[in-house]
Amino acid sequence: MSRCLELARRGLGYVNPNPLVGCVIVHNNEIISEGWHVAIGQAHAERMAILALKDRSILSECDLYLNLEPCSHFGKTPPCADLILEHQFKKVYVGLLDPNPLVAGSGIQKLQEHGIQVETNILADECLTLNRFFYKFHTEKRPFVTLKWAESKDGFLAPLPIQRFQISGVGTTEITHALRLEHAAILVGVETWNIDQPLLSNRLFEGPSPKKFVLDPNLRGNYTIDSEVVVFNRKKTESNGLIQYVQIEEFDMLQGIMRFLCDHQLNSLMVEGGSKTLQSFIDANLADEIHTYKSKTGMIGGGIEAPKHQFDKINEVDLPDDIHMKFNRIS
Ligand SMILES: NC(=O)c1ccc[n+]([C@@H]2O[C@H](COP(=O)([O-])OP(=O)(O)OC[C@H]3O[C@@H](n4cnc5c(N)ncnc54)[C@H](OP(=O)(O)O)[C@@H]3O)[C@@H](O)[C@H]2O)c1
């Protein structure tokens, strides 16, 4: 199952809103084939692993491992449960059940009804963490929201008057770009957009960048850069070259943004500041995970305060200039 999870991670950034899935086929305690879901619309992991084998006549003597229940419905590809049945595997090991109501246990039920042994709940926590965006999307009907910021040793995001100010040091860019690769969408508030003119792209790792959004209710943003951006606002819906303006009608703009992302099958959102925008996600109880880089030595002495939260710290990594802390919401 650990190997399945490793393989599944190869699809990071490419499979949204699908889950990350890896598959391993074992014969006499030896892995004889592997597969993973490479990209949305392409073959599922188990199909890849089965098709990668030249001699499929031994599959009835093999076990199959998957970090997520096989699908049982016709989507962009035919049901994988049928393919597993066709080859009469000895036993199927499944990390977790699929929360998608179109599957939700029916893939496993189908296998068992046809006499295939199935064992579930293997490395369940790891499987859930890997596919946390997918689970959030299907169980709560909203995208998974990750907040990220850098703060000075004395707890500020930037000095005043408002200005661009570099806080984080060596090693933080890699983590940020890896997070961007994972997420389907990224958002900043209008002040950050105007002051920092951030690119918000993944430029360090092979793979896509998230779709870019700005939260700008009063259309105060300076949209001159040559890149595709969606501007959530109160005034208009219109397209102007690469800039798409989307009027949000909901009283609470964040709820409107969640709805828009769901409607567009974007299952994860990374919010990169500034403080007002980050705090509003925390206060609306819409944040799921927080990443902070706290400078070990850099002091600002006043200015824009870091957001306040009461999330659980689950990890701390000592970087050369900063402490990277990861927090999860208290469930
Ligand atoms: N250290 C870091 O990691 C980091 C990261 C990003 C930015 N920064 C710095 O932070 C500063 C900007 O932060 P900031 O807090 O002043 O501004 P910001 O969060 O970038 O933008 C704030 C504006 O966005 C709109 N907005 C935010 N949340 C909203 C909500 N829930 N509903 C409706 N509108 C919402 C409002 O626009 P209206 O006023 O038009 O209503 C609000 O005034 C800059 O100096 C930037 O360089 C630091």
Give the residue range(s) of CATH 3.40.140.10 domains in the chain.
2-135
Which numbered atom of ligand 1 lies nearest the CA of 293?
A: 3
User: Who lines ligand 1 at CB under 6 A?
Assistant: 149-150, 157-158, 162-165, 167, 188-192, 195-196, 215, 217-218, 220, 253-254, 272-277, 280, 304
Residue among 199, 253, 276, 286 whose CB has most ligand 1 atoms within 8 A, to mutate: 276
Which numbered atom of ligand 1 lies nearest the CA of 193?
A: 20
Give the residue range(s) of CATH 3.40.430.10 domains in the chain.
142-328
6, 34, 46, 126: which one is catalytic?
46
Q: Is the pLDDT of residue 225 over 70?
A: no
Number of H helices, E strands in the chain: 10, 17
pLDDT in tens, 143-165: 999 999 999 999 999 999 999 99
Q: Tell which CATH architecture fits domain 2-135.
A: 3-Layer(aba) Sandwich (3.40)
Read off the pLDDT band of 124 (50, 70, 90): very high
Residue with tokens 């860019």: 173
Indicate which residue's Cα is closest to atom 7 of ligand 1.
Answer: 274
Active site residue 272: no
How is 20-71 classified by DSSP, letter by letter?
Answer: P-EEEEEETTEEEEEEE--STTSPPHHHHHHHT-S-GGGGGG-EEEEEEPPP
Q: Is the Cβ–Cβ distance between 66 and 93 less than 8 Å?
A: yes
List the Cα angle 188/14/278 in 5-degree steps.
Answer: 20
What is the average per-residue pLDDT within 263-292? 97
CA distances to 32, 40, 43 from 76, in Å: 27, 9, 9
> What CATH homologous superfamily does 142-328 map to?
Dihydrofolate Reductase, subunit A (3.40.430.10)
Q: What is the pLDDT of residue 103?
A: 78
**How far is C-alpha 197 from the geometric centre of its chain's CA atoms?**
24
> Distance, CA 247 to ligand 1 centroid (Å)?
18
pTM as predicted: 0.95
Residue among 160, 196, 233, 277 whose CB has most ligand 1 atoms within 8 A, to mutate: 277
* Region of residue 313 (phi > 0: left; psi between -120 and 50: alpha; otherwise: beta): beta
> Distance, CA 312 to ligand 1 centroid (Å)?
24
Q: Is the pLDDT of residue 39 over 80?
A: yes
Question: Which residues does residue 246 pair with via DSSP β-bridges, in sequence order?
Answer: 232
Residue among 298, 299, 290 nearest 147 (CA): 290
pLDDT in tens, 228-270: 899 999 999 999 889 999 999 999 999 999 999 999 999 999 9
Mean pLDDT of the chain: 95
Read off the pLDDT band of 200 (50, 70, 90): very high
pLDDT in tens, 64-114: 999 999 988 777 677 888 899 999 999 999 999 988 888 788 889 999 999
Q: Is the pLDDT of residue 49 over 70?
A: yes
Q: What is the pLDDT of residue 104?
A: 84
